[in-house]
A and B are shown apart, each in its own frame.
Chain A
């Protein structure tokens, strides 16, 4: 069964304290792994797509990496405006959920000034 597990469920950081969020997955032929940011009461906002192990992508203070079993979202020197829930999703290449995104439950990040 295709599955996505994110950890930790919640993470509290001080401003400037770097850390990482984890996304572990099992999927029938990974077609893509996606990271989204979601603010309270709003729809998810696209951050990154990763397609193959070893791939990395960066955007401002965020860097996403991918292995064959998991992905990390590294946050360097976070600011309070980085506070949000970060969602990870995978897209299966074949099987019952082929083509559709399967989401994890998210990591709620709080950055205190």
Chain B
């Protein structure tokens, strides 16, 4: 079955460490997205990529980095520069000319 796989489901990070969240899709979608979700707030866009080897900053890109070396993969690195990284992270994908996203099941990151 086609879908988006995020791993791990739970992730714990010590302050000052970088950590990478994985996102893989087998839907043959061109565009991929990373969102952050905090209690009481809507989903906020971190980064997005519409084609391989190209990506753009979203509304809250500071402290994050991404790469898009393969169509299927769009990993997100949360760097030590991100001041408040504890959150629920969601990856999504869509066909470039299609409307609407398919979401993964999310990664909950906690800084300890």
Which single member of A34, A103, A104 contacts B100 (CB below 8 Å)? A34
A46 touches B40 (CB 8 A): no
The answer to whether B42 has its CB under 8 Å from any CB of chain A is yes
A49 touches B99 (CB 8 A): yes
Q: A34-B100, A49-B100 are in contact. Are A43 and B43 (CB under 8 A)?
A: no
A46 touches B42 (CB 8 A): no
Q: How would residues 92 to 112 of chain B score, 1 for a CB under 8 Å from any chain A CB and 0 otherwise?
A: 100000011111111010000
The answer to whether B84 has its CB under 8 Å from any CB of chain A is no
Category for how many chain B residues contact A: 20 to 34
B99 touches A31 (CB 8 A): yes
Closest chain B residue to A32, Cβ basis = B99
Q: How would residues 84 to 113 of chain A score, 1 for a CB under 8 Å from any chain B CB and 0 otherwise?
A: 000101010000000011011110000000
Mostly helix, strand, loop or mixed at chain A's interface? strand
B48 smallest CB distance to A (angstroms) = 6
Closest chain B residue to A34, Cβ basis = B100
Query: How many contacts A-B (CB < 8 Å)?
Result: 50
Category for how many chain A residues contact B: 20 to 34
The answer to whether A54 has its CB under 8 Å from any CB of chain B is no
Closest chain A residue to B88, Cβ basis = A41
Which single member of A31, A34, A41, A100 contacts B58 (CB below 8 Å)? A100
Q: A100-B48, A100-B58 are in contact. Are A91 and B99 (CB under 8 A)?
A: yes
What CA separation (Å) do A16 and B25 show in the bound complex? 38
Q: How would residues 45 to 59 of chain B score, 1 for a CB under 8 Å from any chain A CB and 0 otherwise?
A: 100100000000010
A43 touches B103 (CB 8 A): yes
Interface residues of A (CB under 8 A from B): 4, 31-32, 34, 36, 41-46, 49, 51, 87, 89, 91, 100-101, 103-106
Sample of 9 more A-B contacts, CB < 8 Å, known A45-B103, A87-B42: A32-B100, A34-B100, A34-B101, A36-B103, A42-B106, A43-B106, A49-B100, A101-B43, A105-B41
